[in-house]
A and B are shown apart, each in its own frame.
Chain A
């Protein structure tokens, strides 16, 4: 027998010997805690599922994402501070987004107490809507809430555009559509783009001193009809 033949046999015998070496070893049942035993049970039931669930603790994931977010913010901020072109680009993007998707504001820079809200009369509401609530707090604004049989609310609101009053219209779920309203200085119609969101028509009186708003689940034509039917006495 050559040396290399002997080494091959020795190699295989050593492997088998390593199993035999522990044949007489006293077998001890591992003492797992209840939670360890539960984890092992889960691991054996479905190793793949267990792996997906336990491969990384959520705290570690959270730490990693938080660190990434901080680094990203730092990098963005640093770039914005140092590169004027990036700053201009960011401001332009922000301005566009702000104007198109976040808010419209109506500001009347008059004198406090100059305008008194006149008596408002709603001469038209679609069939089925009943007045549920009317409020006129301090004579500054007027709220008309109508409700139909499906519990859909039609809200009509009028307010004096006093000093620096901003009125915000949520148009994140609505899109701006052109409308022409009789006797309005400015008008905006926001049509809902998602189910469940109402349309919103907002306009100012011809002198710009009163802001009106109608919010409801109604088509544009109906809302315009309501708007045209509102009379300031």
Chain B
């Protein structure tokens, strides 16, 4: 599969970027996978799946900054790792709208960068539902399915996490 997708990397620039992404992030990908999975073999499977996702979304990655490439890779690796044992695995979105660079976005973000730390200080349960909802575009029903809870519970978790962060922002 990966080999088939690699045929898309025709130009020297593409090959160079692919090599660069590999060399910069391969240890991180493996380490994240290993954090969520007990077996090294499973981590290797995730490792390969992430690179498949990288090549599939290569046009998107070409348009992203290094920081966002890293974020994208972390998200995809985490998602793949969390779902490797599940029958109904999440599908990594191939539509790139959710991750595109917005002009001036980082400039605006500079004022709210403390939110990044706040997000990481949230309990993982809340952090995950926010990521699934705001990044992957999961509906409450999808989140409920993933966590084996009711859609109403899922809606409450998203709402609580969001409210918590908005309150922090308003206090600032």
Nearest opposing residue in chain A for B132, CB measure: A14
Bound-state Cα–Cα, A46 to B7, Å:
10
Q: Are A51 and B32 in contact (CB under 8 A)?
A: no
Main SS of the interface on chain A?
A: helix
Q: Are A48 and B9 in contact (CB under 8 A)?
A: yes
Residues of A within 8 A of B22 (CB): 44
Bound-state Cα–Cα, A52 to B8, Å:
11
Residues of B within 8 A of A22 (CB): 28, 31-32, 35, 74, 78
- Check: B145 CB closer than 8 A to any chain A CB: no
Nearest opposing residue in chain B for A24, CB measure: B120
Min CB distance A113 to B, Å, is: 70
- Are A51 and B7 also in contact (CB < 8 A) when A27-B27, A27-B31 are? yes
- Check: A194 CB closer than 8 A to any chain B CB: no
Residues of B within 8 A of A19 (CB): 67, 70-71, 74
Q: How many chain-B residues does the 8 Å CB contact rule pick out?
A: 56
Residues of B within 8 A of A46 (CB): 15
Q: Are A47 and B109 in contact (CB under 8 A)?
A: no
Min CB distance B71 to A, Å, is: 4
Q: Are A13 and B115 in contact (CB under 8 A)?
A: yes
Q: Are B44 and A11 in contact (CB under 8 A)?
A: no
The digit string for A165-186, where 1 denotes a CB below 8 A from any CB of B, is 0000000000000000000000
Q: Are B120 and A47 in contact (CB under 8 A)?
A: no
Min CB distance A3 to B, Å, is: 9
Tally inter-chain residue pairs, CB-CB below 8 A: 132
Min CB distance B52 to A, Å, is: 12
Q: How many chain-A residues does the 8 Å CB contact rule pick out?
A: 39
- Are A13 and B7 also in contact (CB < 8 A) when A27-B31, A30-B27 are? no
Q: Are A10 and B115 in contact (CB under 8 A)?
A: yes
Residues of B within 8 A of A20 (CB): 116-117, 120
Nearest opposing residue in chain B for A11, CB measure: B134
Residues of B within 8 A of A44 (CB): 18-19, 22-23
Query: Within the complex, which residue of A6, A12, A17 is in contact with B169, where a contact is CB–CB below 8 Å?
Result: A6
Name A91-128 residues within 8 Å CB distance of B: none
Bound-state Cα–Cα, A11 to B71, Å:
12
The digit string for A7-31, where 1 denotes a CB below 8 A from any CB of B, is 1111111111111111001111111
- Are A15 and B68 also in contact (CB < 8 A) when A10-B130, A50-B6 are? yes
Min CB distance A212 to B, Å, is: 61
- Check: A58 CB closer than 8 A to any chain B CB: no
Nearest opposing residue in chain B for A21, CB measure: B120
Nearest opposing residue in chain A for B44, CB measure: A30
- Check: A43 CB closer than 8 A to any chain B CB: yes
Residues of A within 8 A of B112 (CB): 9, 13
- Are A28 and B31 also in contact (CB < 8 A) when A9-B115, A13-B115 are? yes
Q: Are A18 and B75 in contact (CB under 8 A)?
A: yes
Residues of A within 8 A of B4 (CB): 51, 55-56
Residues of B within 8 A of A30 (CB): 26-27, 30, 43-44, 47
Q: Are B78 and A54 in contact (CB under 8 A)?
A: no
Nearest opposing residue in chain B for A52, CB measure: B7
Min CB distance B32 to A, Å, is: 6
- Check: B160 CB closer than 8 A to any chain A CB: no
Q: Footprint of A on B, CB under 8 Å?
A: 2-7, 9-10, 15, 18-19, 22-23, 26-28, 30-32, 34-35, 40, 43-44, 47, 67-68, 70-72, 74-75, 78, 98-99, 102, 105-106, 108-109, 112-113, 115-117, 119-120, 127, 130-131, 134-135, 162, 165-166, 169
